[in-house]
């Protein structure tokens, strides 16, 4: 008899979470000769992203794909991956998640949160969107209410840029933007498109402060209940789906950006002011979080791995 698993996705169908989950599902069916089936529940149907970590930890949920910033509250060392301006390209994202550093973060998450990271969706840089006006430099943020996840590093980043952001669960964000409770938020192009944020947001600033990484997690108690053959199939399928996710991002992001422009979004590049955006957060935010990511040397090692 086929075994059916449940996978939670915080985003709507069609984004990078969906692509990773769908590819994983196909590969797992293939590798088990149809013995494993995965039902995907997009759009936060199984709870907001942070709740899915708790549910997986206690074995109520099998799989979840969620943004890394929503894992950080449960396992602070993964905050390394959301330290502003550390990851500066998709290659950097791959180097940090798939090498020795990535393995250490996977081990820490297992220890701290009871969930095992088995794959990654690569979703691109988080860009800032808002409904009011073009934002070029941090001072333009004044007076805007920006939604952020409940993530201390992201909250501190906006504070360093001079505003107090509003922490809000992902599942409430579209409605918050639509009703004007918040004016803006940041997420990658692919997510903005999948969530149809273009219907409630007009201006986009090409910030590159955080590259969105979205781990595929499995409940450790569920993983331990699987036969060795099923565990092997799950690990292989997630590894291959990760490689697929990286290629998917590179192949689609530009077209999605063009599509958002065609739908009326207006883009601003902070190029001339990027130095100001970068300096404000690297000086104010990095030192604040050395302790939570396991010490300054963790950041230094990451920068060395990235050739900086």
- Residue 244 neighbours by CB distance under 10 Å: 19
Pick the closer one to ligand MLT by CB: 118 or 127. 127
Element (DSSP H or E) covering residue 199: none
The DSSP secondary structure of 72-122, one letter per residue, reads TTTSGGGGGGGSTTS--SHHHHHHHHHSHHHHHHHHHHHHHHSEEEEEEEE
CA–CA separation, 54 and 61 (whole Å): 9
Q: Name which of 36 and 256 has its Cβ closer to ligand MLT.
A: 256
Q: Using the rule CB under 6 A, which residue among 25, 32, 157, 191 binds ligand MLT?
A: 191
Binding segment (CB under 6 A) for ligand MLT, from list 66-74, 114-122, 197-205, 298-306: 66-74
Choices 65-73, 199-207, 225-233, 291-299 (CB under 6 A): range interacting with ligand MLT:
65-73
Among 5, 18, 170, 197, interactor with ligand MLT by CB under 6 A: 170
The token duo for 220 is 């450790």
Nearer to ligand MLT, 210 or 233 (CB): 210
The residues in 206-235 that bind ligand MLT, with binding defined as CB under 6 A, are 212, 214
Determine contact, residues 178/78, Cβ cutoff 8 Å.
no
CB 276 within 8 A of CB 137: yes
**Nearer to ligand MLT (CB atom), residue 179 or residue 272:** 179
Closest distance between ligand MLT and the C-beta of residue 195, in Å? 8
Piece of 28-36, 67-75, 109-117, 258-266 that binds ligand MLT (CB under 6 A): 67-75
Residue 44 found at the interface with ligand MLT (CB under 6 A) = no
DSSP output for 121-157: EEEEE-EEEESS----SGGGGTT--EEE-S-HHHHHH
Q: Cβ 93 to ligand MLT, closest distance in Å? A: 14
Q: State the Cα–Cα distance between residues 167 and 148, nearest whole angstrom.
A: 5
Instruction: Find the shortest distance in angstroms from Cβ 187 to ligand MLT.
Output: 5
Spatial distance between the Cα atoms of 185 and 229, rounded to a whole number of angstroms: 43
Q: Single out the residue of 36, 38, 67, 105 in contact with ligand MLT (rule: CB under 6 A).
A: 67
E strand or H helix at 207, and its extent?
A: none
Residue 290 has phi, psi (to 5 degrees) of -55, -45
Looking at residue 69, the DSSP 8-state letter turns out to be G
Whether 197 and 213 have beta carbons less than 8 Å apart is answered as no
CA distance 211 to 80: 12
Kindly write out the interface string for residues 137-156 of this chain, putting x where it contacts ligand MLT by CB under 6 A and - elsewhere. Answer: ------------x-------
Pick between residue 8 and residue 38 the one whose CB is nearest to ligand MLT: 8
Pick the piece of the chain touching ligand MLT (CB under 6 A) from 62-70, 96-104, 131-139, 196-204. 62-70
Q: Which of 86, 78, 137 is nearest to 282 (CA)?
A: 86
Size of residue set near ligand MLT by CB under 6 A: 13
Among 108, 187, 193, 198, binds ligand MLT (CB under 6 A): 187
Counting contacts by CB under 6 A, is residue 66 touching ligand MLT?
yes
Q: Does 49 bind ligand MLT (CB under 6 A)?
A: yes
Beta carbon of residue 66, minimum distance to ligand MLT (angstroms, whole number): 5
Residues in the site for ligand MLT, rule: CB under 6 A?
10-11, 49, 66-67, 69-70, 149, 170, 187, 191, 212, 214
């Amino acid at each position: 008899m086929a075994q059916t698993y449940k996978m939670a996705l915080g985003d709507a169908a069609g984004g990078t979470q969906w692509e990773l989950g769908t590819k994983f599902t196909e590969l797992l069916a293939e590798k088990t000769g149809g013995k494993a089936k995965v039902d995907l529940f997009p759009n936060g149907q199984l709870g907001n992203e942070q709740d899915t970590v708790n549910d997986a930890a206690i074995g109520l949920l099998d799989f979840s794909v969620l943004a890394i910033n929503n894992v950080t509250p449960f396992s602070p060392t993964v905050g390394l991956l959301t330290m502003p301006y550390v990851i500066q390209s998709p290659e950097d994202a791959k180097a940090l998640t798939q090498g020795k550093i990535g393995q250490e973060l996977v081990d820490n998450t297992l220890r701290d949160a009871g969930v095992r990271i088995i794959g990654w969706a690569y979703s691109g840089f988080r860009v800032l969107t808002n409904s009011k006006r073009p934002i070029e430099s941090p001072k333009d943020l004044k007076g805007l209410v920006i939604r952020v996840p409940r993530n201390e590093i992201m909250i501190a980043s906006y504070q360093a840029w001079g505003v107090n952001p509003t922490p809000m669960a992902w599942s409430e964000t579209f409605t918050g933007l639509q009703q004007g409770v918040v004016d803006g938020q940041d997420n990658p192009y692919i997510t903005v498109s999948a969530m149809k944020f273009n219907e409630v947001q007009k201006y986009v600033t090409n910030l590159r402060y955080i590259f969105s990484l979205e781990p595929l997690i499995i409940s450790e108690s569920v993983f331990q209940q699987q036969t060795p053959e099923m565990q092997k199939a799950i690990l292989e399928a997630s590894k291959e789906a990760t490689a697929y996710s990286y290629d998917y991002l590179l192949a689609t992001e530009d077209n999605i950006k063009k599509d958002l422009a065609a739908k009326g979004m207006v883009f601003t590049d902070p190029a001339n002011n990027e130095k100001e955006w970068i300096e404000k957060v690297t000086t104010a935010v990095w030192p604040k979080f050395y302790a939570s990511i396991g010490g300054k040397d963790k950041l230094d090692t990451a920068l060395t791995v990235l050739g900086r």
